[in-house]
A and B are shown apart, each in its own frame.
Chain A
Amino acid sequence: MTQPQEIGVTKPLEREFPKKKYDELESFINSLETTKGALIEILHKAQDIFGYLPRDVQLFVARKLGIPGAEVYGVVSFYSYFTTKPSGIHTISICMGTACFVRGADKIAEKFKEKLGIESNETTEDGLFTIKDVRCIGACGLAPVVMVDDKVYGRVKVEDVDDIINTYRRKGEAVCR
């Protein structure tokens, strides 16, 4: 069943990738001295270019390297850094390191999920936010830590969650318009 769509909003899933992006990836692969053992390196680059690793991109890499698609998928699915789902404009990474956990990161995560109505590794309907659990970003002195894109918020309290979301919602709306 197809989901009803708002006019003017392109669903991230239906984004089509211009040939330019594939060309960029291809020239990166061609620039490598050897492709032996370079799969992870290539996937890092691909994720940089495309934002995530959809099936087509994985198959493109497989063909380029002359290896089975299953091998590429095997690597993609093994590592948590690689994602096969597009992410929203802003990624909210909630640190789930032990230091953050004992200082209440789980409650913060709950609050974010409740406020945005999504689970971890999901993206909101409007494509604005993606929630991710990350394993320790190494800023344990500031626990619990939440990172939105590259900005680190330290000593986050449950009450701060609204403010954080609103800051980016305002920014995000400006971008969408």
Chain B
Amino acid sequence: MQIKSLEELSKIKQESKGKIKPRLHRDTTATEKNILVCGGTGCLANNSDKIIQILTALLKTRGMVEQVKVIRTGCFGFCEQGPIVKIEPDNVFYVRVGLKDVKEIVEEHIIKGRRVERLLYEDPRKKEKVHTQEEMTFYKKQLRVALRNCGLINPENIYEYIALGGYEALGKALTQMSRDEVIETVKKSGLRGRGGGGFSTGLKWEITRQQEDEEKFIICNADEGDPGAFMDRSILEGDPHSVIEAMAIGAYAIGADKGIVYIRAEYPLAISRLTTAMQQARELGFLGKRIFGVDFNFDIRLKYGAGAFVCGEETALINSCEGKRGEPNYKPPYPAEEGYWGHPTCVNNVETFANIPVIISRGAEWFATMGTEKSKGTKVFALAGKINNVGLVEVPMGITLREIIFDIGGGIPNGKKFKAVQTGGPSGGVITEKGLDTPIDYDNLLETGSMMGSGGMIIMDEDDNMVNIAKFYLEFTMDEACGRCVPGRIGTKRLFEMLHKITSGKATMADLDALKQLAYMIKDSSLCGLCQTAPNPVISTMKHFWHEYLAFIKDVDHPQGEGRYVPKNKIGLKS
């Protein structure tokens, strides 16, 4: 069946809404129950699939399949406490559910209507059981826009997406808005690219739109290579339709009829959910010819990445899409002017796309009320490392790091002291105690010497040695540098070797001097963003943790240490 108008869509929406009624706004009149089980990668690794199997089997033997539905959803975000089982409309949130707990959930909760207290989340500070999701400190300060449907709907069922207003934005854009109005709305919303650079999305669309070419392309960058970031993966696994819908809206706005999702081959679950979603979208006519009955055709195909961090850079990504080595090109020309096979191409990241449908349906003004002056909306961060609540969180821009790490993240485990947080992955830098109260947005993070990047946040405690961390990142960028420019190919290798010399206690003060000089040299002379930012971990750790570098130094010429060494260049040793 093909949906050709907003009225038809609205009819389907009403029908579908009934099916997910128990999950909507705590509808207590619902006679059914929904058991939502997290089907994200983290929880799946902890047997959440088996939990679903056992639940279904138990409900079957009790003859309750009609009244109680088991649904496999996308990621809830609270990965530390997985597998997560949520029961609606009772609003009960069970954590760390084991296989042996399933029977108790069915017998106690479903049949007798009593909560299984021991499976509830316990607030580590108050030592009290928390009864609902809203009361958890982890969720309290969050604002879910890009992740709005993750953990709520079954990503493999298009009707559940439609029930929550899915594809309405596409219908609205195609039937009620001109291309320029769509672009204007996105521009006005203030949405900036969530992949790292923070370029205005609306502006990018506008530039692509203005190019005169018969063929244009829209590409979704789903090659999440940043170690420690998994938001794109979770969105694709938990809400693939929002990305498809947004790509269609974008294609309409810029005048493209072909889209590509460039996705990591290492994300098999995301690939399979996306493939299913695309199939369903085609069946209902959201992809294909004459979408919503207007003169607009659009379809998407997948291209698999093959493991290269640099392919996150848009020109490299386009080269890889063309089947070549993923090496970046000089910019300009920008892909918006000359991209895939020489045609104007708009490349946006998964999280950026996930914001688009809500912006279109709820309006630019609504979106612009969230966030700070220059960074609007929300940002998804992946909290990992030495933190109590590892997981995926979405917060309004302008929140402080302290709130994210200590309120939402629950602080540092084992009573250790917070030392630093690395934001922006290998391209970012560390932020210490002093920077914890800075409101987070693109510009403030750059000022502190780090960057937004894709949104990975790795928290380190007092046990971590920062020189080792810098070395770890350098090893990564050294491996991943594409080899096209000399600073990237040889510079990063020398930088890594110097760090290795330092951590093995063989370096002198002169090496530290050279390290710093080389770091700035690579920063200034590399071809693309990957290597321009590669020395950031070194520069920022040197700035904040100079004494840790010094501790490794064995200075034979100047046994007194730094005071007596005269640097040979203008950059100098001390920051």
Contacts and interface: CB of A to CB of B under 8 A. Distances in A.
A49 interface: no
Given A78-B325, A98-B422, A98-B472, A154 B45 contact: yes
A37 B306 contact: no
B306 A98 contact: no
B464 A78 contact: no
The interface size bin for chain A is: 35 or more
Contact of B41 (A82, A101, A137): A137
A152 B456 CA distance: 21
B269 to A, nearest CB: 10
Range class of the B interface residue count: 35 or more
B230 A80 contact: no
A127 interface: no
B384 A143 contact: yes
B391 interface: yes
A135 interface: yes
B395 interface: no
A119 to B, nearest CB: 15
B303 A41 contact: yes
Interface in A78-126: 78-82, 96-99, 101-103
A134 B476 CA distance: 11
A153 B42 CA distance: 10
A52 B498 CA distance: 35
Contact of B42 (A79, A80, A101, A139): A139
B233 A79 contact: no
Contacts of B321: 37
A25 B383 CA distance: 42
B266 A137 contact: yes
A44 B323 contact: no
Given A82-B306, A98-B422, A142-B46, A38 B323 contact: yes
Nearest to A138: B230
Of A44, A74, A135, most buried by chain B (CB within 10 Å of CB) is A135
Interface in B233-284: 233-234, 265-267
A78 B45 CA distance: 30
Contacts of A40: 303-304, 306, 320, 323
Given A75-B323, A80-B307, A136 B228 contact: yes
B306 A80 contact: yes
A29 interface: no
B425 interface: yes
B322 interface: yes
Interface string B122-156: 00000000000000000000000000000000000
Nearest to B265: A81
A23 to B, nearest CB: 23
Contacts of B425: 98
B225 A78 contact: no
For the complex of A and B, list the 10 residue pairs with the smallest distance between their C-beta atoms, beginning with the closest: A141-B79, A99-B384, A79-B306, A152-B45, A138-B230, A97-B227, A81-B307, A39-B323, A140-B384, A80-B307
26 contacts: A38-B323, A41-B304, A41-B323, A44-B304, A44-B306, A75-B325, A80-B308, A81-B306, A96-B227, A97-B227, A98-B385, A99-B227, A99-B228, A99-B384, A102-B464, A103-B385, A134-B266, A136-B226, A139-B45, A139-B79, A141-B80, A142-B79, A143-B390, A145-B45, A152-B41, A152-B44
Given A97-B227, A139-B45, 14 more contacts: A37-B341, A40-B303, A44-B306, A81-B307, A99-B227, A103-B385, A139-B230, A140-B79, A140-B390, A141-B80, A142-B46, A145-B45, A152-B41, A152-B44
